Structure 1
Amino acid sequence: MNITKEQIDELNAVVKVAVTKEDYQDKVETILKDYRKQANIPGFRKGQVPMGLIKKQYGKAVLVDEVNKLLQDNLNKYLTEEKLDVLGNPLPKQQDNFDWDSEEFSFEFELGLAPSFTVDLKSKKAITHYKIVADDKMIDEQVERIQKQYGKLISKTEVSKKDEVNGVFKNEAEEIDNKTVIEIEKIKSKKALDSLLGKKVGDEVTLNTKGLFKEDHLLGSALGIDSEKSDKLDIEVTFTIEEINEKEPAELNQELYDKLFGADVVTSEKELKERIKEDSEKQFEQQSDQKLLNDVTEHFIENTKFELPTEFLTKWIQTTGEKPLTDEEANEEFEKSEKGLRYQLIEGKIIQENGIEIQFEELKDFAKGFIKQQMAQFGQLDPKEEELDSIAARVLSNQDEVKRLSEQLMSQKLLTLYKEKANLKEKEVTYEDFVKEVYGS
């Protein structure tokens, strides 16, 4: 078998494969002999069917199958040995006069080659790396939420602005009949607020659903309907008051601190606020890192210039899917995937040039870290190492999980690299300002 490459340009090549009879004859003959031993053909004893009949019945199918196997194995071996960095897969060229009755065959395959380019980690323009801090306002609000969450209910006779009211929403036409608790502070409608204030247990008030709550999502849960229906709802409902309570905030004392963090971990209001600040900023760091990763990715895509074998890739997309695509459909699919392909090439080069690898022990430790986090959510704060090893082994036996965890670990390694080598400027912001600046709301 002879394989040669014709370079069309920097991004395209044609590989020619010449297959001779000597390449496939022995294998085909061996398979046909096995067929002869097993063949059951009327008029002949098993194993005594003439070879000419076996060749006539099965010869061409076996030949085609074996030549295709030879092609696949040797073409892949050639691409590896020649270190050809191909995009997609080799595409067989149409040959109008191809003849399977010949003893020698010639095949041609189109190749799309990966472009040559460089990645500059140190951009001229600095990329913003947000450091999100928990300001005093946020910390104070969190302290208030904790006090409210762990406070005690005091029964009231009349509804006031700080109360929680248990009751039943009803509307017969919309089949609404839902028992719920509403916080008066979260009522937006002034008319509804006026209707509720001063009311007593057993009173029934009529409320309009449109603009009833300060947060729109609260309406669905209050009425016991899905958000899609509640978003469009503009009707009157009755609300019958069954219970009125005021939540007295919990005192900031050692009993509360121990309940929150364990015995004597936090011993003062100052330490409580420091802990809230520390925990909040750890959570913010994940959002900040994701924003940085997104921004660096976009920067590389926009500023790393190279050509792609567009025509080849469009043809590859057109012919290798579940069903063939039209020219227009294939062009649309290429446009959708081009950005992702560009970043795959850029990321691959960064990984290669910086020697980034994932070792199995690293992946195992990474998996165990995730498992510990999940167990902590269910109150298992100190799992045994043997238990973690056992769960990690089960997780890593699933190839989909290995792929998912490997991608996440690689993202972490890339993020560490960018923090070390990219041109970053740190910008300290509150969470509120971060949301406004990044999401515009």
Structure 2
Amino acid sequence: MNISHELKEDQVLLNITLTSDEIKEQVTDQLKHLRKTAETPGFRPGKTPAALIEKKYGQAVRFSVVSKATSNEAVSYLKEQGIKTIGGFLMEQDDNSYTPEQTDYQLQVSTGLLPQFPETIDSNVTLPYYTVQVDDAEIDQMISNAQESAGERNEVEDVQEKDVLYVSVQELDDKGEHASEGIALEESFLMPQYVTNEEIRAEILKAHKGDTLTIDLQKAYDGSEVEIASFLQIKQEEVKDHTNAFEIKINRILRNTPHAIDEKLFKLMLGPTTEVTNEEELRAELKRMQESRNASMANDIFTTVVSKYVVEKIQGLPFSDKHLALLLNEKTEEETQEEYDERINQVMPYVRYQCMVADLNKQLGVEVSDGLVRKIVREGVMRQVQAAGLGQLLSNDDFIESLVNNAMEQNNDQLFAAKEQAKEQALAAKVKELVTLDEQEPLSVEELYKIHTKLQREINTLLKFYDEESEDEESAPEEE
């Protein structure tokens, strides 16, 4: 077999020639096998004449053998020549008859040419590096929240800001009397800390169990339909029909007594196997967890920075989309050609990006470990468990591991996404070693989330994950 190539802007053409002698043995073997297994009317199994088998299957067998042989040799040739390609092979020219009389085969196939990344990734490249502020107040808040969550509620007589007041409610008319057709509730509840009007909040804080207050809810909640509707147990659009004052009687007052900082709280915060025995050790462990989280957040946002850098650099590079499309799902029976084309066009920018990330990892000697993929799958599983309201199971390692093992075995979209994410993280870790880092001022967690959201939105726009109009709409509030 003889192969030569021609390089085009976004593809490589392979001119291939081979002789019938090179495929003769394989063709003969396959035709013999077909003769043994073919069921032909009028002939016993295995007794179909060879000429009939040749007439019926000969061309298809030769085409199959030639296609397989040239495909394998083409892959080896491209590797030997150091030509980086993307996508599958397309037949560009095939005038062969694939008959027994043909002695030489000539054909031309093409595949996509991977464009060169336009920049050397070294210290001449400068990328922003974001970190998280060390926040001791956050640890105080974590402990306080845990104490509140684990606290005990007791019924009391007076009112404090964080108490829950169980009240009966009666709507008044314009004369300050009970409205005959007004809202009347046997029980609702309010919390003084959420009453926005200071004067009314102060009045509530002076009250006691059994007291009756007359409150203008519109004033108390600064016209918030959400708060008023929740208190009156009505729809938001109905709030406008109930603007008179309400008579509110305090029937019960519950106060949460924060849980003590003790062994039970340590286990609630850190899990049943924790060895923490005092507040000092608790704060040290929370500090360690905070530092680990902050480092993870810094790495995550740098991965996004690197992704944006790569996506920006490959804009306008010549990729052969027709060859890349061969890697994607074929057109389904339910799809029209227009729907199929639209689907392919939507994912193509991301496919180009995937190809470049894979090549950069190869260039930089980056290996994506199974351990990293498993770690990402585990993080996803834990988020799903938390979102399902089963946070108490997060400390059950056997349960979590069984879910992770199941996800790894299924080889579904979740695992595919984890593998792609692992490639991005591994690339970012290597890029971090090579480039110059422009270290930004440490940010709060909230500020970092905003930066991350902005970066991801810019990436999505470049990858055409949503149109420019919706992007402008999302950006508008920030511009104001």
| Fold shared, TM-score > 0.5 on shorter chain | yes
Judged with a 3 Å threshold, the aligned counterparts in structure 2 of structure 1 residues 418 and 21 are, in CA distance, closer, same or farther, namely closer
Q: How far did 1:294 drift?
A: 0.9
Q: How many residue pairs end up in the alignment?
A: 413
The 8 Å contact of residues 150 and 249 in structure 1, kept in 2 or not, is answered as: yes
**Aligned ranges for residues 18-417 of structure 1 at < 5 Å?**
18-93=17-92, 99-101=97-99, 103=102, 104-117=104-117, 118-123=119-124, 125-136=126-137, 138-156=138-156, 161-165=161-165, 183-186=191-194, 211-212=224-225, 233-236=236-239, 244-252=253-261, 256=265, 260=269, 265-268=276-279, 272-302=282-312, 304=313, 308-310=317-319, 312-314=320-322, 317=325, 322-323=330-331, 337-338=348-349, 341-342=352-353, 344-346=355-357, 348-349=359-360, 351-358=361-368, 362=371, 378=392, 397-400=409-412, 406-407=419-420, 409-417=422-430
**Identical pairs, percent:** 19
The 8 Å contact of residues 166 and 189 in structure 2, kept in 1 or not, is answered as: yes
Partner of 1:2: 2
Deviations 1:69-112 (A, max 9, x none): 333333333333433211212221155x5544462432211232
Partner of 2:475: none
Q: How far did 1:20 drift?
A: 2.9
Cα distance in 1 between the residues matched to 2:113 and 2:436: 31
Judged with a 3 Å threshold, the aligned counterparts in structure 2 of structure 1 residues 290 and 180 are, in CA distance, closer, same or farther, namely farther
The unaligned stretches of length 5 or more in structure 2 are 170-184, 455-477
The 8 Å contact of residues 382 and 394 in structure 2, kept in 1 or not, is answered as: no
Give the aligned residue type for 1:153.
Answer: R
Judged with a 3 Å threshold, the aligned counterparts in structure 2 of structure 1 residues 185 and 63 are, in CA distance, closer, same or farther, namely same
Q: How far did 1:140 drift?
A: 3.9
SS in structure 2 at match of 1:122 = coil
| TM-score relative to the length of structure 2 | 0.64
Cα distance in 1 between the residues matched to 2:157 and 2:299: 50
Cα distance in 2 between the residues matched to 1:46 and 1:369: 56
Partner of 1:172: none
Deviations 1:331-351 (A, max 9, x none): 9955863366246425532x3
Cα distance in 2 between the residues matched to 1:56 and 1:278: 76
Judged with a 3 Å threshold, the aligned counterparts in structure 2 of structure 1 residues 340 and 191 are, in CA distance, closer, same or farther, namely farther
Cα distance in 2 between the residues matched to 1:332 and 1:399: 23
Judged with a 3 Å threshold, the aligned counterparts in structure 2 of structure 1 residues 62 and 207 are, in CA distance, closer, same or farther, namely farther
Judged with a 3 Å threshold, the aligned counterparts in structure 2 of structure 1 residues 394 and 308 are, in CA distance, closer, same or farther, namely same
Cα distance in 2 between the residues matched to 1:79 and 1:44: 47
Cα distance in 1 between the residues matched to 2:79 and 2:309: 32
The 8 Å contact of residues 119 and 300 in structure 1, kept in 2 or not, is answered as: no
Partner of 1:173: none
The unaligned stretches of length 5 or more in structure 1 are 170-176, 225-229
| TM-score relative to the length of structure 1 | 0.69
The 8 Å contact of residues 92 and 109 in structure 2, kept in 1 or not, is answered as: yes
The 8 Å contact of residues 187 and 193 in structure 1, kept in 2 or not, is answered as: yes
